[in-house]
Structure 1
Amino acid sequence: VGCGGALPEEQTEAGLAQEPTSAPEVTEEGLCLPTAAGTQRVKTILPPSELGIPRFAMGPGGFVDFKGTLHFAVNFEDGRRALWRSTGTDAGTTEVKGFPATSGSSTPLLSQLTATPTQLFFQAPDAAHGNELWVSDGTTAGTRLVKDVTPGAEDSYLTHLTATGSTAVFFREVFDTTVFTTRYELWKSDGTAAGTVRLRDFGTTVDVSYLDAKVGNALLFFVRELEGGIALWRTDGTSAGTVQLKRLDAGPNTFPNDVRTSGALTLFKLDESSGLSELWKSDGTAGGTLRLASFGSTRSMRVLGALGAYAYVTTTSYSTQYMVLYRVPLAGGNPEPVFTLPNDYTSQGEAFPYIDAVSQASGGSKLYFSVAIGSNGPAPRDTQLWVTNGTAGGTTLLRRPLSLSDEYSSPVYAAADNLVFFSAYDTATGIEPWVSNGTPSGTRLLKNIAAPAQGDSSYPREFFRQGSRVYFSAYDDTRNAQLWSSALSNTCVAPEDAL
């Protein structure tokens, strides 16, 4: 089973594993907990895996809403690639465009699905052009190569593909053999070859971070001088609208992390080589890009998100191994402690807690986050799902353990403010999809998908809400990861029918 896995039996008996409950809950939004009966495989798309390792199975992914319909990537083990769409039924789940495997040791993945109102951009490989930018209107006939940005069969390395209104922007990274470093070029595309042009050449003396944020119809990105400071930039897909918002730090070896966007606000942190961490906010303007707080080198700071007038972060002391939830006024002011998370392992050596995943529904009043407790090895000792509304009384442990493997991390996805999807481990079922309405009594197994014959764990991935369903990938009795969905409803069922 690789590294990690189940909790030892004695730990489970000691009360670390919370038993599922089946009390249906209706909260302020009126969404009920979804049911096992309403959670079904949509379609068998992939053949049985030859790799045969469930936690590594590459199922459907890259889910995106395009024109009100789910679109996604399918990357087969044999190198074939395909763009698919689904209306939620077997018959309504069809291939839009297939790409044969290319020659060579490996075929690049079909990836970076990015939707504008009328076009779906993505990157895909073919033998003649290499890995390049494609566009689709949702039909097979309307799916075509945009431009062979790197002419011939050589691949283009494109990153940060982002919709900016009706157009898209992306970075092209080119290794410059004259100076033996990477050149970063910002491009835009309207879906035509003629309209796919370079906006700005950032040269070879900077590094563009892989982290970014979308605010409105603009992309925020970080540019770091190789021998100097770091700056936040903004582009709306035009030359005039591509500007440096603010120089964030003048010193070398400063890196951005934990970029979280909530509505029109983006939070991020800067980690300095001294161990100091700074919390920043940006609304996409120079004046609205401000440092909120600084945290010393004796603790690790992580950004969770924003609720109301506050940003929320955690700090973990390197000496005590305790994690504390803080709130920081967005208008300025000192950080205020809210809640100290328990740690049952502080007397047992290496047991450093860290944030694994964070999710917040659009406009939501809660933050869902998973915490892992480190160990002397690569796998965590414990994993926990928490929720907070920004108060001590509203900060609650929902479930432990989640996945205890270092090779599969539990996803956390807030489909609504009162409904979070995640995966968790139980001795009876293995690692399966779970749901919670934000209360311990409303936290339970969604469905036991994988039987012991399939390894007893379905390793769900990439939860994504599209309309009245949440889609995800799960390893099932087809011996591969397939497309599944769970129906959402505001008509609740009795407890005995819920499971």
Structure 2
Amino acid sequence: MPRRTGWLMSLLMMGMGCGGPLPGDVPPPVPSEDPQALGALHCPLPSSSTTKRVKTLLPPSQIGIPRFAAAPNGFVKFKGRLYFAVNFEDGQRALWKSNGTEAGTTHIRSFPSIDGGFTPPLANLAAGPTRLFFQVADPAHGNELWVSDGTGAGTTLVKDLTPGSPGSTLSHLTALGDRLVFFKEIFDSGTFRTRYELWTSDGTAAGTERLRDFGWDQGVSFKDSAADGELRFFVMGPEGTGTVLWKTDGTAAGSVPLKQLTSSHDAFIGDIQTSGSLALFVMREHTGLQELWKSDGSSGGTVRLASFGPSRVARLVGRLGSRVHVAVTSLSTQYMVLYRVPLSGGNPASFVTLPNDYATLGEAFPFIDETSSVPGGSKLYFSVTIGSDGPAPRDTQLWVTDGTAAGTVLLHRPLSLSDEYSSPVRAVSDELVFFSAFEAGGAGIEPWVSNGTPEKTRRLANIAPDAQTGSSYPRDFFRLGERVFFSAYDDTEAGQLWSTELGDNCVAP
């Protein structure tokens, strides 16, 4: 099912939302579109002249559809360099690294295809100070855990967790220093049940061990949060045990439950963000009630901050200082209202209503698609998708907010109007955000950049100028020092590694 449509349909089927009247009977003001509303900004926009392909890594795509073509992905910082995966369409896999130059973009190790284009991708890169963990398949062991020190000779299988060629299903790969924690999922085809095991690894076979078996009656949410040298995750048990927040520091003694959040066995963990030492998340109860929580990794510090009932949908936008910002959309009116929720406790306060030009024209439910901010920043960037009764959205928009009505500004519309490609949004400083957007009659879907004002929001480059190609479909914006890397479909007829240089005044956060 297409990404946006599937997400919206699942929300409507589950009855998510916020019930009862929102605080106050009068809706908050519509946001300003004044370019000066956010004040003077000084982070210069990068130049199109410094936006270049780093290196040709992939041959021309055989798929023939640019938005589905293979491209470099899985970007992480390791030992001061960019490390990433290259998954070829014929099933070959490879680990690469780059310093942003063609000569400095080098191959580390390749892996052969084991099942043609259906070979599992090299994925789940997790970087510690001296070890880079990832998962990849080879003919002898199937899809298993590997580790690298950044060299070909130092890239080795950690352990054959499922002996032989079947391979393992691993998730939540998280580096806590140089130690990895992860889950192994075991599926019983006879009973159609899944068992979750918590594991840890120091990069050696002897140091890779199971910490806990959660058994057949416990589920683990795919959402998690890493902070303060520990991974926080959610375990859903049978009725009566409910949903419990756990944490692990990579040891058996440090893998403990923190707090039971609900006795319901079918609670759903929605958005989750890590902000400093806090995990912020939204949980939907089986009644449709939605709750905003925070956790500092202790039982006493795991606290419900606000509740919203079953006639509205709540989405986490992000934290600014001492407040968490939440977008709450009415299922009946189809309007989205932004709220501030104090981290110290207190009632949510609405501060702005976003416009919806389609609210009275049938199905036009707005929802948050992407959010991005920098640690300790004063602005939150987010994209809003307005759905429809078909697979493609009616509209897509990029917004910024500083937590006030005057500082909530529409930066650009539309972004991608495809139901098969969602625009990425990545803030690389408080005053610089990268995203993709559509330009009718012009460049198609290309990389864009903004300093947080409409007047300085523009296309970064026209990477796929060929009218037949139409769009470069940029993905995975990733800042490393004075460069922002991303992948894009270009005149090589494949997804390749690209980067742009940042100005000297745009200091890394």
TM-score calculated relative to the size of structure 1 = 0.92
Say which of 253, 260, 263 aligns to 1:250: 263
Residue matched to 2:275: 262
Is the 8 Å Cα contact of residues 103 and 127 (structure 1) preserved in structure 2? no
When residues 186 and 422 of structure 1 are mapped into structure 2, their CA distance, relative to the original with a 3 A threshold, is same
When residues 40 and 371 of structure 1 are mapped into structure 2, their CA distance, relative to the original with a 3 A threshold, is same
Say which of 425, 428, 433 aligns to 2:447: 433
Residue 235 (str. 1) matches residue 251 (str. 2): no
Residue 392 (str. 1) matches residue 398 (str. 2): no
Amino acid at match of 1:456: G
Residue 110 (str. 1) matches residue 111 (str. 2): no
Residue matched to 2:319: 306
When residues 148 and 26 of structure 1 are mapped into structure 2, their CA distance, relative to the original with a 3 A threshold, is farther
In 2, the alpha carbon distance for the partners of 1:103 and 1:384 equals 40
Say which of 74, 77, 94 aligns to 1:82: 94
In 2, the alpha carbon distance for the partners of 1:205 and 1:130 equals 27
Say which of 455, 467, 486 aligns to 2:469: 455
Residue 488 (str. 1) matches residue 482 (str. 2): no
User: For 1:367-420, what per-residue CA distance to the aligned partner results, in whole angstroms no more than 9, with x for missing partners?
Assistant: 100001111101110000000111111111000000000000000000111100
Say which of 368, 375, 385 aligns to 1:372: 385
Is the 8 Å Cα contact of residues 226 and 252 (structure 1) preserved in structure 2? yes
Is the partner of 1:441 in helix, strand or coil?
Answer: helix
Could you tell me how far 1:436 is from its partner in structure 2?
A: 0.5
Say which of 177, 194, 207 aligns to 1:195: 207
Is the partner of 1:452 in helix, strand or coil?
Answer: coil
Is the 8 Å Cα contact of residues 108 and 150 (structure 2) preserved in structure 1? yes
Residue 146 (str. 1) matches residue 121 (str. 2): no
Residue matched to 2:297: 284
Is the 8 Å Cα contact of residues 416 and 422 (structure 2) preserved in structure 1? yes
Residue matched to 1:352: 365
Could you tell me how far 1:264 is from its partner in structure 2?
A: 1.5
Residue 93 (str. 1) matches residue 99 (str. 2): no
When residues 27 and 102 of structure 1 are mapped into structure 2, their CA distance, relative to the original with a 3 A threshold, is farther
- List structure 1 segments (4+ residues) > 6 angstroms apart after TM superposition: none
Could you tell me how far 1:442 is from its partner in structure 2?
A: 1.3
User: For 1:243-299, what per-residue CA distance to the aligned partner results, in whole angstroms no more than 9, with x for missing partners?
Assistant: 101100112321101001122221101112322100001112211110000001111
In 1, the alpha carbon distance for the partners of 2:194 and 2:456 equals 50
Is the 8 Å Cα contact of residues 383 and 397 (structure 2) preserved in structure 1? yes
In 2, the alpha carbon distance for the partners of 1:265 and 1:84 equals 33
Amino acid at match of 1:83: L
Residue matched to 1:271: 284
Is the 8 Å Cα contact of residues 93 and 112 (structure 2) preserved in structure 1? yes
Could you tell me how far 1:491 is from its partner in structure 2?
A: 5.5
TM-score calculated relative to the size of structure 2 = 0.90
Say which of 372, 376, 380 aligns to 1:363: 376
Runs of 5+ consecutive residues of structure 2 not aligned to the other structure:
5-34
Runs of 5+ consecutive residues of structure 1 not aligned to the other structure:
5-20, 493-499
Residue matched to 1:339: 352
In 1, the alpha carbon distance for the partners of 2:90 and 2:53 equals 23
Is the 8 Å Cα contact of residues 463 and 472 (structure 2) preserved in structure 1? yes
In 2, the alpha carbon distance for the partners of 1:462 and 1:340 equals 30
Is the partner of 1:368 in helix, strand or coil?
Answer: strand
Is the partner of 2:126 in helix, strand or coil?
Answer: strand
Is the 8 Å Cα contact of residues 264 and 286 (structure 2) preserved in structure 1? no
- Single out whichever of 195-204 and 168-177 deviates more from structure 2: 168-177
Residue matched to 1:160: 172
In 1, the alpha carbon distance for the partners of 2:190 and 2:46 equals 57
In 1, the alpha carbon distance for the partners of 2:286 and 2:198 equals 28
Is the partner of 1:203 in helix, strand or coil?
Answer: coil
In 2, the alpha carbon distance for the partners of 1:239 and 1:3 equals 38
When residues 491 and 332 of structure 1 are mapped into structure 2, their CA distance, relative to the original with a 3 A threshold, is closer
- What is the aligned-residue RMSD (CA, Å)? 1.9
In 2, the alpha carbon distance for the partners of 1:26 and 1:100 equals 54
Is the 8 Å Cα contact of residues 172 and 222 (structure 2) preserved in structure 1? yes
Is the partner of 2:487 in helix, strand or coil?
Answer: strand
Amino acid at match of 1:407: E
In 1, the alpha carbon distance for the partners of 2:184 and 2:214 equals 10
- Paired residues, number: 472
Is the partner of 1:37 in helix, strand or coil?
Answer: helix
When residues 105 and 391 of structure 1 are mapped into structure 2, their CA distance, relative to the original with a 3 A threshold, is closer
Is the 8 Å Cα contact of residues 26 and 32 (structure 1) preserved in structure 2? no
Could you tell me how far 1:177 is from its partner in structure 2?
A: 5.0
Say which of 124, 127, 130 aligns to 2:136: 124
User: For 1:172-225, what per-residue CA distance to the aligned partner results, in whole angstroms no more than 9, with x for missing partners?
Assistant: 001135643111000000000000000001111011011111112111111001
Amino acid at match of 1:254: A
Could you tell me how far 1:490 is from its partner in structure 2?
A: 2.8
Is the 8 Å Cα contact of residues 391 and 419 (structure 2) preserved in structure 1? yes
Identical positions, percent: 63
